[in-house]
Structure formats: structure tokens, C-alpha cells
Amino acid sequence: MTRRRTPAALVEAEPGPGHHIEFDGRPVRALPGQSIAAALWADGVLAWRTTRIGGRPRGAFCGIGACFDCLATVNGRANQRLCLLPAEPDTVVTTQEGHGRADLAV
């Protein structure tokens, strides 16, 4: 039998019970300690923002908070870096279009 080689299996971690966050109106499973970006990736969501010019899709790029590709709206607050925020129960994430603020003239 071949053991599944996941990061949790490699370090023999036993994460606690999962919970859900909401992404664009649908539930996404998250594990304790996961970032929002990691939970979305695990669910197959690779983009959650569009660029201000051209509307190109963006998601996680660096994964450590150095860039700003992973911006999205979290609990009503625009421009949140999903790679830095924990996926806490009942967090609501919505796709962000452009700069995330309609009051900015760009």
C-alpha cells in the first residue's frame, strides 16, 4: 500500500476538525491553521481577484505577503491579502474586482 504523500502526512500532523468559510456565496472547507488562500487552493479555486486594467484573473503568487496578487474582500473589507489571513470559521470572502473600492477614481 502506498501512503499518500501530503504535507500533513510527511510531518505526521493530525489537524483538528475542519470548518467552513464562505467564498462568493458557497462553502469552502478549511482546516485549523490554514490561510484563506490555502483553503481556496485546496478547494480548486485559483483566482479570486481581477486586475484593475484588463480584468485579468489573479490569485496567490508569492504566498508570503510580499506581493499583492492575492487581494480579495474579507468580511466586507477590500484589499485583504488572503495568504496572510487565517481561514477562521464563518469568514466571508468575495471576489474583488480591480482596486476593490468604487470610490477611487482610477
pLDDT digits (tens, 9 = 90+) for 13-52: 777 889 999 999 999 999 998 999 999 999 999 998 888 8
Task: Please provide the distance, in angstroms rounded to a whole number, between the alpha carbons at the two ends of the chain.
Answer: 57
pLDDT digits (tens, 9 = 90+) for 65-74: 888 888 999 9
Q: If one looks up domain 16-97 in CATH, what number appears?
A: 3.10.20.440
The share of the chain scoring above pLDDT 90, in percent, equals 48
pLDDT digits (tens, 9 = 90+) for 73-102: 999 999 999 999 999 999 999 998 766 655
Q: Can you give the residue ranges of every domain in the chain?
A: 16-97
Name the residue among 72, 92, 95 with its Cα closest to residue 84. Answer: 72
Residue 105 confidence class, pLDDT cut points 50, 70, 90: very low
Q: How far apart are CA 98 and CA 70, in angstroms?
A: 12
